[in-house]
Amino acid sequence: MAGPAIALAMMAGLVDHAFTPAQLERLDAAGELADPVPLDSFDGDRAAAVLARAEVLVGHWGCPTLTGEVLAGAPRLRLFAYAAGTVKWQVTDAVWGRDLVVTSAAAANAVPVAEYTVAMVLLAGKGVLLFREWLRDPQLRLPIDASTVGNYRRRIGLVGASLVGRRVIDLLAPYDLEVAVYDPFLGVAEAAQLGVEKVDDLDALCESVDVLSLHAPDVEATRGMIGAAQLAALPDGATFVNTARPALVDQAALEGHALRRIGIDSLADIRRRCRRTGLAQQILLADAHPGARRARRRLAIRGIAGAEDGLARLFRGAGLLGSIAHARRTQRVIRRDRQRRVRDDLEFVGDDPGLADGTVEAVAAAQRQGRNAERSNHQ
């Protein structure tokens, strides 16, 4: 008997880049692919036919938004497994109204992004970015103080205690560094548990650090949060690392500010901007989102695992550990006990906007509680 119908939704041409044939076979074995060609739009006759059958939707970058109208055409849909990070561009209130189970590979994505960030922090402290340019052109006048090269007691500023930000804190722990964090949602007690200093003023943080690393979400309140004032506040020779979205940085201010060393990950229209403004001469390392480049295989594996786990729970009659109601019950506990850290590679996500990235944290705990309950029932 064929298993539950599984639909794919992502930008055109991504499926072969994001999933190996073996991974697609594994997904097909968990159910039945309604159509091996992913939907890049929910409009049209083919999309209507696929959605009408779908019980599981596996999404990736470019997956269209799950509006109420879309869900009305997918009456059998019970699980949305997103094989990438945030689901805020795909999930709407209509999803929560249907009580669909939603999984995300955000925690899996955080690992390679954090690794890139830490690499940049350590290279900057060693002066690698500046010495690289000096070796290319010894006539360059660069702010290199050989007596201070190294990472001992460097002050690192993180903007955002998100999944990535917290992973960066973990990876920096073995080094003798001072880590300070700006995040309005991070409490003093939790900052102490993380072993970091909480800073309430972003400009003050910028003034005090050797490296500033951006890990905030792309929401209305954070767009353009790093502007001319923040860039000017950075000490001469400071390094700015952006592994978040380009929209969080005022691109015009970035172009006009003569930073002397900077490691940048996410830069809007990188080729055009570097050619037009000479930005490549100011920014010693400009790259097109390498932080997530190595994440694709991991995201595919975790996205498939999310679908498999959700299928097992939904269709064997087990409790829905990732259900929104379960998440809401647990979020109250997490608010009182936020020192719990997310280390799972796959997390169920809920819908509490007050927690932002902490939502994953809350529902991960719900998963763990549910697993413990299952074990107790079987004893």
The answer to whether 295 and 289 have CB atoms below 8 angstroms apart is no
Q: Which of the four pLDDT bands, split at 50, 70 and 90, describes residue 374?
A: very low
Q: Which CATH class is domain 126-287?
A: alpha beta
Q: Which of 113-117, 184-188, 305-309, 350-354 has the lowest mean pLDDT?
A: 350-354
Report pLDDT for 219: 87
Q: Which of the four pLDDT bands, split at 50, 70 and 90, describes residue 180?
A: very high
Interval 70-96: pLDDT, tens: 999 999 999 999 988 888 889 999 998
Interval 231-245: pLDDT, tens: 989 988 788 898 888
Residue bearing the bigger pLDDT, 44 or 108:
44
Place of tokens 């702010």: 143
| Strongest mean pLDDT among 8-22, 123-137, 320-334 | 8-22
Residue bearing the bigger pLDDT, 24 or 263:
24
Q: Other C-beta atoms within 10 Å of 48: how many?
A: 13
> Is pTM, for the whole model, over 0.75?
no
Interval 129-160: pLDDT, tens: 777 777 777 776 766 677 778 899 999 999 99
> What percent of the chain has a predicted confidence (pLDDT) above 70?
65
Report pLDDT for 30: 83
Q: Which of the four pLDDT bands, split at 50, 70 and 90, describes residue 226?
A: very high
Q: Which of 156-165, 291-300, 343-352 has the lowest mean pLDDT?
A: 343-352
The domain locations on the chain are 5-108+294-378, 126-287
Please give the CATH architecture assigned to the domain spanning 5-108+294-378: 3-Layer(aba) Sandwich (3.40)
Domains 5-108+294-378 and 126-287 share a fold: yes
Residue bearing the bigger pLDDT, 2 or 237:
237
For every residue of the chain, which 3-state class applies, written as one string?
CCCCEEEEECCCCCHHHHCCHHHHHHHHHHCEECCCCCECCCCCHHHHHHHHHCCEEEECCCCCCCCHHHHHCCCCCCEEEECCCCCCCCCCHHHHHCCCEEEECHHHHHHHHHHHHHHHHHHHHCCHHHHHHHHHCCCCCCCCCHHHCCCCCCEEEEECCCHHHHHHHHHHCCCCCEEEEECCCCCHHHHHHHCCEECCCHHHHHHHCCEEEECCCCCHHHCCCECHHHHHHCCCCCEEEECCCHHHECHHHHHHCCCCCCEECCCCCHHHHHHHHCHHHHCCEECCCHHHCCHHHHHHHHHHHHHHHHHHHHHCCCCCCCCHHHHHHHHHHHHHCCCCCCCCCCEECCCCCCCCCHHHHHHHHHHHHHHHHHHHHHC
